[in-house]
Amino acid sequence: MLSDRYGRQISYMRISVTPYCNMNCYYCMPKNVCSGKKNESEILKDDEILKLVKAAVCLGIKRIKLTGGEPLLRKGICQLIEGIKKLDDEMMVTITTNGYMLYDMAEELSEAGVDTVNVSLDTVNRERYQAITGVDCLDKVKAGIKKAREKGLRIKLNAVLPEGRESMCHEEIMDKASEIISEDTDVLTEVIEYANSVGADVRFIERMPMNVTGTDNITVGEEAASKTDYIGRLIALYNLKSVEKSSIDNGPAEYYRSDILGVRVGFIGPLSNDFCRECNKVRVTYDGRLKTCLFYEDGVNLRESGFDKDRLTGMISDAVESVKHAGHHFTEEARNKYREEKNIKRDMRPMGCIGG
């Protein structure tokens, strides 16, 4: 099993298969920041991805998540999934999507053997959805989710915790805290009720303070504080009880169940919950760069291996053993905790440019 210098075992690889997306979510791929045509020769080809995954399997990685951009935009994505599944009998392949193309591709994804489809769905309110994504297509996405469930696909919904307070000063937020949390909790309960109606687990995610402006102007604080309140309110509303992760779970979500819900409710808190000590993943960008941590600029250009299996396994294991960091620096507490890494440069690109 592949492990790093801190004793963490790495069993999970996220691969960005395209830099393109058909939405412009403000926290991931804002307009005029990640847009523009890429050099197609930079995007990993199917055979390169398969060689990369084959090398990863040799190192004990058996869980692959295909991301983007929007991965369903990639031509032949289902054939790629089939190819990855064939590399190992225990291989688990999941995929993230905004759901726009899910209705048309649900049957093909099911036949390809994808294990789970993670759909981004921050709200079930049409106007709010359009404001977040820049696209008026909520009904289309919901139709895709419905069809995917009919085709037997396991669905998880991902919802970024509500924000919209960037223009408010700290005093204003404190003055209106109860009102804000109550309004936002209503948004969350609507998503939970929808998830329950379609039989999909739902995870609420604190927005990571990745760059969305092209500057170094990133602040954190209110999201982490409010997440605790969200959890408290939802636990009270649904009588949620903490449960252990299941074999289908890859990441750091904390899960809860309720007697009045048929699905799990999860929370992912990169700000309020330092889960780095349990990190089990590495990422590969659409152009072939291995990132051992989302937050940092450093990485390894896997193209230099020529996609030779022995060179790939060597480069991946060396990066995990010598480059993978103890933790991210999202908060002042984390910066103090991992103070030996203070001078390492963080990645200045928005999430959508790195690979979600």
The class of domain 2-354 in CATH terms is alpha beta
pTM: 0.87
Phi-psi region of 76 (alpha: psi -120 to 50; beta: other; left: phi over 0): left
pLDDT by 10-residue block (mean), the chain, 356 residues: 92 95 82 69 96 98 95 98 97 97 98 98 93 94 98 96 48 40 76 98 82 44 54 88 86 91 90 81 94 82 97 96 79 57 58 62
Q: Is 73:97 a contact under the CB 8 Å cutoff?
A: no
Q: Is 243:257 a contact under the CB 8 Å cutoff?
A: yes
pLDDT at 330: 60
Q: 149, 160, 159, 236: which is closest to 199 by C-alpha?
A: 149
Q: 250, 211, 214: which is closest to 15 by C-alpha?
A: 250
**Amino acid at site 125:** N
pLDDT at 126: 94
Q: 60, 65, 114: which is closest to 88 by C-alpha?
A: 60
Residue 285 and residue 291: Cα distance in Å, rounded? Answer: 7
Q: Is 198:149 a contact under the CB 8 Å cutoff?
A: yes
pLDDT at 73: 97
Residue 101 and residue 221: Cα distance in Å, rounded? Answer: 35
Residue 272 and residue 16: Cα distance in Å, rounded? Answer: 26
Phi-psi region of 35 (alpha: psi -120 to 50; beta: other; left: phi over 0): beta
Residue 339 and residue 98: Cα distance in Å, rounded? Answer: 37
pLDDT at 171: 39
